[in-house]
Amino acid sequence: MKPINVALCSFGMSGYVFHAPFAAKNPNLNLYAVWERTKNEAEKKYPDIITFRKLDDLLADEKIELVIVNTPSVTHYEYAKKALQANKHVIVEKPFVASTEEATELIALAKKNKLKLSVFHNRRYDSDFKTVQKVLENNSLGQLVEAHIHYDRYHPGLSPKAHKEVDTAAVGGLYDLGSHLIDQALHLFGKPNAVFADLAIFRPKAKVVDYFDVKMFYDTFRVTLKSSLFVKEVTTGFTLHGTLGSFVKSRADVQEAALQAGDIPGGEGYGIELEKEMGLLHAEIEGRENRIKVPTLAGNYMEYFDGIVAAIRNDEPLPVTGEEAAMVIEVIEACMTSNQEKRVVSLT
């Protein structure tokens, strides 16, 4: 299989941690180019990479097949559109775009040009989430009654990334961490009937949402998504209750920290959590009460990139489709309406 030449639209944390290592490691991808306006940071780690100073020059290179739009979220729509118009397959960092209108336009453009468009919802490939998914697939809890998905941190200060603190489209906690949780919920449970959301700003001098509490309404169960930057004692990332019992699991995927430390994807121990982070299943199994630890599945973001290769080369289904990512944005928009109008917003 001819490797796919990949170009990054930036080499900040997203490029350095989440994209370049996988494009460089995957035998069917080739980390070919990067757009850096003034610096040469990518060349320090990847000497063979080509550095472009202008996006138009990068998009004009016919050797590039796949462009990863990993720039600030407010630019995603503009740059993804340019890449699709330049006949490139595209991966967009989350959040996809600011609105469903923009998402719909990009999806249509990709289809018109017979190109692949995906969004990097990598948290589907976290160890904790994969384990939760397995517990649900095994029907270990019986009929689900409620699920709580949290992404909490203690970070009361403003982000050093200035663009994350400007009150513009596609910025703030609901678009940032919220898009992860919404995608996880949609991937597990499908589209809800309705949502109710409480959004707030608690950090001093902050201008963008840094707290959210979202309730998703399904026919027979409820899902709560929550995030705060004022949680010093983080407990569980996932709590699920069903008619046969409960499952609780910490949010403990190790991939981001390992990649930040410079570890190579796929190395020994990659994606494997500490044993102490195993989830707890307390449920009735085969008529007997059990309270047991559940081994955690290994996390692996490379599965996403393998899926991208299969989609481009073999026309297999994308690991994350534009339509799936657009549904995340639809839920976000409904949450913003709910918070503003203080009411439950229907999604049916």
**CA dihedral for 228, 120, 38, 80, sign (positive or negative):** negative
pLDDT attached to residue 285: 84
When pLDDT is averaged across residues 310-336 and rounded to a whole number, the result is 98
pLDDT attached to residue 286: 82
pLDDT attached to residue 130: 98
pLDDT attached to residue 199: 98
pLDDT attached to residue 324: 98
pTM above 0.95, yes or no: yes
Helix or strand (DSSP H, E) at 345: strand 345-346
Please give the Cα distance from 203 to 17 (Å, whole number): 27
What would the two tokens of residue 141 be? Answer: 């809890």
Please give the Cα distance from 310 to 118 (Å, whole number): 13
Q: Give the model confidence (pLDDT) of 70-87 as tens digits.
A: 999 999 999 999 999 999
Percent of the residues in the chain that have a pLDDT greater than 90, as a whole number: 97
Q: Give the model confidence (pLDDT) of 265-311 as tens digits.
A: 998 899 999 999 999 999 998 888 999 999 999 999 999 999 999 99
When pLDDT is averaged across residues 246-256 and rounded to a whole number, the result is 97
When pLDDT is averaged across residues 230-243 and rounded to a whole number, the result is 96
Degrees to nearest 5, angle at CA 279 with 273 and 281: 155
Give me the chain's average pLDDT, please.
97
pLDDT-based confidence at residue 348 (cuts at 50, 70, 90) = confident
- Contact present, 77 and 93 (Cβ < 8 Å): no
Q: Which of 94, 67, 72, 70 is nearest to 83 (CA)?
A: 67
Please state whether beta strands 50-52 and 29-35 pair in parallel, antiparallel, or not at all (unpaired): parallel
pLDDT attached to residue 235: 87
Q: Give the model confidence (pLDDT) of 11-46 as tens digits.
A: 999 999 999 999 999 999 999 999 999 999 999 999
Which amino acid appears at position 230 of this protein? F
Strand partners, 240: 147, 247
Please give the Cα distance from 72 to 93 (Å, whole number): 9
pLDDT attached to residue 319: 98
Q: How far is CA 281 from CA 222, 234, 278, 328, in A?
A: 20, 19, 10, 29
| Number of helices (H), then strands (E), in the chain | 11, 15
Which amino acid appears at position 3 of this protein? P
Tally the residues of the chain. Answer: 348
pLDDT attached to residue 48: 97
Taking the C-alpha atoms of 316, 322, 327 and 328 in order, what is their torsion angle to the nearest 10 degrees?
110
Q: Give the model confidence (pLDDT) of 153-188 as tens digits.
A: 999 999 998 999 999 999 999 999 999 999 999 999
Please give the Cα distance from 126 to 123 (Å, whole number): 5
When pLDDT is averaged across residues 124-137 and rounded to a whole number, the result is 98
Which amino acid appears at position 212 of this protein? F
**Taking the CA of residue 85 as centre, how many other CA atoms within 13 Å lie in the half-sphere pointing to its CB?**
9
Instruction: Find where tokens 């080369």 sit.
Output: 313
Residue 1 has pLDDT above 90, yes or no: no
Q: Give the model confidence (pLDDT) of 329-345 as tens digits.
A: 999 999 999 999 999 99
End-to-end CA distance of the chain: 43
